[in-house]
Amino acid sequence: MERLIRALILLAALPGFVFDAHAGSQTVGMDLDVLQEAPEPRIWFGPIAGFTTVPHPIPASESSAGRAFAFPLGSKVRFEVRDLGPRQSVLWEDLDSESDSVEIDLNRPGPMFLRCTILPDRARVAMPLLVIPLAPDQMEFTEQVALQQPFKARSGVSNQESVEDFFGYPSVADLARIDGRLTTSTGTPLRFSASGLELAGSATWDHLLEWVIDGNAVGSGEMSHVFQETGLHHVSVGPAQVRRELELMTYDVSIELVGEKRIRDDRPVTFIAHTDPPGYEDLVQWFASTLEGSVSPSAGTGARFETRFRSTWLGTGKRWVGVRADNEMEQQDFHPRSLSGTIFQVPCYPLQQLDFFVSATRTSSNTVNFFLALTNSSMMDMNLVVCAMLDLKFGSVEHEVYKVEKDFLGEWSCSQTGTGSLRPSYHFGCKRVFLPANTSWIVFDDEATFDKDGNGSIDDVVQADLARVYFDILKDCEIDDSCDSVVGRNKFLVPESPDFPEWVNVWAGHSRFALLDESSHDAQISWQSGNWVTMGYPGTYPARMTGEVSGLPAGSRFEFVYGDELGGSYLVPASRDGSGVGRSVAVDEKLTITEEPGVDHFLNVYLPGDSGEVIEEGQVVRFDGTVFAREGAPYYEEGDLMHKVSVQMVQDTQPPIFLDTKVQRSGSSVGVSMAAIDMASRVGGAFVRTTAPDGSNREIPLGRPSRGSTGFVSVFEGTLDFVDPSQDLELVVVDSIGNERSEVVRAP
């Protein structure tokens, strides 16, 4: 019998020798190379009595290699083409059958070809067979279970490659043998392979070796499987009558972050693995990665993993760090939202644009940090002059009015020309800025104080006092020292020549959602009505405002109010994808800027339910508008740009997040350093609460963010004198909405 089998094998190896499925007549001239392709759809076979219990696909890799598939002599086998398209059919060649499947009695030993054509594509599928005497109890084979994609932490790779490794493996678990059982975590892809006696290199019977897992036949020969359930699994392999048995144990992993649930930079952080069922913690494989900076160590084994992340915060405030434990992962992904916008009309740079980010945060009882950053997202370097002012929401005081013009040297010069009545404000003056292509620059990161009653004294402010940021982008040229006089409280800058358009004015504002109450609206944001031309040269300016409101829930309504005049009302339609956030709404409004300076324009929002239910934490609603002159506006032609409006409302109920805190004693003084970031605004203020010698509480402000700040990450540093070593220090950071977070430490 063995000689017959080997003779048939050798015969099957001869090129050009095949048998017809019915008569066995020889066909000459058939080149096996033509039949090496195995296009989809694929052929399935079985079940075969004594060997397999369910149909299995013919392995594509074996088929494409031109190897013959051994089948037992005397068996009746059903062959079927699966995964056909809706209009496809199968024509079995030499069998006069047009059906998805055929049954063939394999009663004649030797090689044969099973061929079919997929109609109407005319694609051919061919399967070389070898019919030989096979007895299940005489089949010799080996089996193996291994990791389909073994994980190995690479050293010396880039952050991007490390992140690719983090997400590139469904699991980083190992496959161990414990008490005779293979053991791994759930979710780990495993490769099951069974190989029969090699048949002279031209035929295989691996496909007859069936894998059964927990009572279900799941594949044959070589296959992949992922266990999703924990516990003991029973695995068997081989012909149905003589299967070999093995056991495989799987467990789930959960990760516990010890202590504070926030991964901080440059501090040891400890993770503990818990397994279900317990007892497999020592097998857990760990891997850590970060998008920026470094992590060391990046890999480990066992129930406990201690590592340290360093410099993981990007200059934009975006951050991602991750830790894997087998198939489980802990990620902290941070993408802060901010009050930002885009200027599309940049003086002297047509078709280019500037992105901006602004914030204003109370830093002490009477000081405010003002922050303005610009990003040149174009491919062209820019030279600009930027002037900025911050005003309060309440009151009206006398201002010194300054006018800016080009002097005979072609420089911007400033001179006081009179007074005017406006909201209490602080002007930060003008700065010359060079912005290389694709770079960001912090233009202002300054401290402001306010005189709320106009008597020349510095008054206390609260976060709710802070209103709008107003800034101007001017054509680049030298700035005369005379413009230094503009910096200070209750000062205002307007152009000497209102019809000399070498600037762009922008109003930017920030507000928060309020929970539903008895008020007439759920949220409101405002900005002043005109620009520095209309304020410096009062008159009646017919205008048109176009723009877009985005980020509101479907079913919301919003309206514009211009002073005492009601503008348009709009309804937010549902999004096309059915998500809770509705579609952006285009607005087109006609309005009139009146002679009275400082009149507020409002955007009122009415939500379809409680903001805590329909607005997610960190959700931002934006209005970006452009105001153009209409016919009859002084100093302007119809259609001329007057100013931009870029305001937002944010659901911000969460305080900032500490990234790092350090307290260090030097003699009788204590040095304090804090770094923090906020999800929806910017951390602009920090102070220390402690106990005064008389027993009362005192707040020591740390001023504006230090030079160590980058982008959205704010760093504060300060020195406290004569601190009792027994005292607790409460370190406090506050965002531009007014949310604060504190951490109590003991003075060293």
Confidence at residue 334, expressed as pLDDT on a 0 to 100 scale:
57
Q: By C-alpha distance, which of 623, 624, 611, 739 is closest to 681?
A: 739
Confidence at residue 333, expressed as pLDDT on a 0 to 100 scale:
65
User: Would the pLDDT of 223 be above 50?
Assistant: yes
User: Would the pLDDT of 25 be above 70?
Assistant: no
- Residue 20: pLDDT band with limits 50, 70, 90: very low
Q: What are phi and psi of 138, to 5 degrees?
A: -110, 5
Could you give the angle at the alpha carbon of 546 between the alpha carbons of 544 and 550, nearest 5°? Answer: 150
Q: Tell me: the pLDDT tens digits for 422-432? A: 889 999 999 99
Confidence at residue 551, expressed as pLDDT on a 0 to 100 scale:
86
pTM: 0.52
Q: Which amino acid is at 23?
A: A
3-state secondary structure of 640: coil
- What is the percent of the chain with per-residue pLDDT over 70, rounded to a whole number? 84
Radius of gyration of the CA atoms of the chain, in A: 38
Q: How far is CA 552 from the centre of its chain?
A: 21
> What integer is the mean pLDDT of 550-565?
90
Contact between residue 421 and residue 467 where contact means Cβ atoms under 8 Å apart: no
Q: Tell me: the pLDDT tens digits for 518-541? A: 345 677 888 888 888 888 888 899
In whole angstroms, give the CA distance from residue 77 to residue 109. 14
Query: Which of 62-66, 585-589, 623-627, 733-737 has the least mean pLDDT?
Result: 62-66
> What integer is the mean pLDDT of 433-462?
86
Tell me the torsion sign for CA atoms 247, 252, 257, 259. Answer: negative
Q: Tell me: the pLDDT tens digits for 467-484? A: 677 788 888 888 889 999
Q: Tell me: the pLDDT tens digits for 57-112? A: 988 655 445 678 999 999 999 999 888 877 888 998 877 778 889 999 999 998 88
User: Would the pLDDT of 265 be above 90?
Assistant: no
User: Would the pLDDT of 707 be above 80?
Assistant: no
Q: By C-alpha distance, which of 263, 276, 275, 271 is closest to 287?
A: 271
Ordered DSSP codes for 165-230: HHHH-S-----EEETTEEEEETT-EEEEEEEE--BTTTEE-GGGSEEEETTEEEEESEEEEE--S-
DSSP secondary structure code for residue 58 in this structure = P
User: Would the pLDDT of 738 be above 90?
Assistant: no
User: Would the pLDDT of 21 be above 50?
Assistant: no
Confidence at residue 354, expressed as pLDDT on a 0 to 100 scale:
82
Using a 10 angstrom Cβ sphere, with 0-12 exposed, 13-18 middle and 19 or more buried, the burial of residue 575 is: middle
- Residue 23: pLDDT band with limits 50, 70, 90: very low
Q: Tell me: the pLDDT tens digits for 126-159? A: 888 889 898 888 888 999 999 998 998 888 888 8
- Residue 253: pLDDT band with limits 50, 70, 90: very high
Q: Which helix (H) or strand (E) holds 534?
A: helix 532-536
Confidence at residue 5, expressed as pLDDT on a 0 to 100 scale:
40
- Residue 323: pLDDT band with limits 50, 70, 90: very high
Give the range with max mean pLDDT: 196-205, 546-555, 708-717: 546-555
